[in-house]
Amino acid sequence: MKVFDHPAESRHAPQFFLMRGRLRPNFEVPARAAALREGLRALRLSAEAPEPASREAMRSVHGAAYLDFLEDAARDWVALPEAGPEVVPNIHPTPEMLAQSSRSNGHVIARAGAHTADNACPIGPGTFEAAAAAAGCALAAADHVAASGGAAYALCRPPGHHAYATRAGGHCYVNNAALAAQRLRDKGAARVAVLDIDSHHGNGTQGIFWDRGDVLTVSVHGDPGRYYPWYVGFAEERGGGDGAGANLNLPLAFGSDDATWLAALEDGMAAVRTFRPDALVLSLGFDASKDEPLNALAVTEDGFARAGEAVASLRLPTAICQEGGYNTDILGQLLARFLGGFGA
C-alpha cells in the first residue's frame, strides 16, 4: 500500500477547546501523527511526503474567501490588542442576523465567527500550513489510486470530515476526504463513494456533496442526538436536489459494540455496492474505540481489523484518509490492525 505523510502536519498545535463549559487541553495534537507513524512502522510501511495542496486544488471543494481566512487569520489575530495565542470566535452569525443584513464584515473576529462552526477548531500560526500538508496527502493518495487502481493511505492531520465548503469545525479545516473524492472524479471516475467510519458524523462531507448524485456519502457514527455534531447525522437525511438518495447516515446507540458497528458497516457497504462507484474514499477514524477518551462506541482492536477486511472486500480503488482518534497510546496499534486487515 502506498502511504503519504508530511512533516508540516505537526505545525498545527492547538492548545485547548471548550467542552461543557470547561476549558480542556485539545486532543487533536501533533502526538497523534507520531502515534500513527508507529503503526505504519509496525507494518514496515514507509511514507512519501507529497507537495502541500495548492490554493487552486483546495478550491475544488472550498470557497476562496474561506481559504483566505484560513491563511490570514493567525497573522491578523495577533495584531489585535490583548489577543490570545489562537483564533477562537466569540460570536457566530445567527440566521436572524444573516436575514437582516447583506454586509460582509472583514474584521478578523467577524470572519472567525462566519468561517468556524464551533470552538473546537482554533487557528494558530501553523494551522494553514498543516492543513495544506494534510490535504496534499489526500490528493496524492487519490492520484495514486486513480493511476494504479490500487489503494493508498493518507496520514491526514488535522483531520477534515467536519469542514464544510466555507466553515471549519470539529478539529477540521480542509476536507481531505472531499478533496480526494473530487480529485478522483476529475481523474475520470464517473461515480465515487465516500464511506466514513469515524465515530462522529461526517457532516462537512455530507454538506459538500449534499446536492450531487455523482458522489455517494455514507457515514456510520454515534447518535448525534447525544454527540457531536448534534444538528445533523440523522437517518432521514438523504441528500437534496440531484443528490436525493445519495446520502446515507447510520447512527448507532451509545455503547454499540463490534457486532453492531460491523453490521452497520455492512449496511453502508451494501449501499456502496448498489451505487456501483468507480472508486472509494474511506474516512478512517479510530475514535469509535472502546478506549477513546470521549467515546460513544465500544469497538475493539479486533473490530477494526475486521472492518479493514470488510472494506477490502469491496475490491475498489481506495483512498484512505485519516480522520479522528485521540488516544495516542493505542492509535498506532489500531492503524496497524486496520491496515493489516485491509491487506496492506
The pLDDT value given to residue 18: 83
The pLDDT value given to residue 243: 98
SS3 of residue 76 by DSSP? helix
The pLDDT value given to residue 344: 86
What is the C-alpha separation between 202 and 186, in angstroms, rounded?
A: 22
What is the C-alpha separation between 108 and 112, in angstroms, rounded?
A: 6
Sheet holding 318-322, edge to edge: 2-4, 151-154, 318-322, 279-284, 192-196, 215-222, 247-252
Contact (CB, 8 A) for 172 and 160: yes
User: b/e map of 58-75 (b: 16 or more CB within 10 Å)?
Assistant: beebbeeebbebbbebbe
Other residues' Cβ atoms within 10 Å of the Cβ of residue 53 = 25
Cα radius of gyration (the chain): 19
Q: Which residues are catalytic?
A: 162
Helix (H) or strand (E) holding 282: strand 279-284
Measured in degrees and rounded to the nearest 5, phi and psi for residue 195 equal -110, 120
The pLDDT value given to residue 294: 84
Give the cell for residue 97: 442576523
* Alpha carbon separation from 133 to 39, 155, 193 (Å, rounded): 20, 10, 23
Measured in degrees and rounded to the nearest 5, phi and psi for residue 48 equal -110, 140
SS3 of residue 123 by DSSP? strand
Measured in degrees and rounded to the nearest 5, phi and psi for residue 225 equal -65, -20
Global pTM value? 0.97
DSSP state of 284: E
What is the C-alpha separation between 53 and 134, in angstroms, rounded?
A: 8
- What are the per-10-residue average pLDDT scores of the chain (344 residues)? 97 90 92 98 97 98 97 96 93 91 87 95 97 98 98 98 98 98 98 98 98 98 97 98 98 98 98 98 98 94 98 98 97 98 94
Pairing of β 22-25 and β 16-19: antiparallel
What single string gives the DSSP state of each residue in 16-68? EEEETTEEEE-S--HHHHHHHHHHHHHTT---B--PPPPHHHHTTTS-HHHHH
Amino acid at 155: L
Measured in degrees and rounded to the nearest 5, phi and psi for residue 30 equal -55, -25
What is the C-alpha separation between 176 and 61, in angstroms, rounded?
A: 10
245, 243, 225: which is closest to 234 by C-alpha?
225
Q: In which region does residue 29 sit, left (phi positive, over 0), alpha (psi from -120 to 50) or beta (all else)?
A: beta
What is the C-alpha separation between 51 and 329, in angstroms, rounded?
A: 29
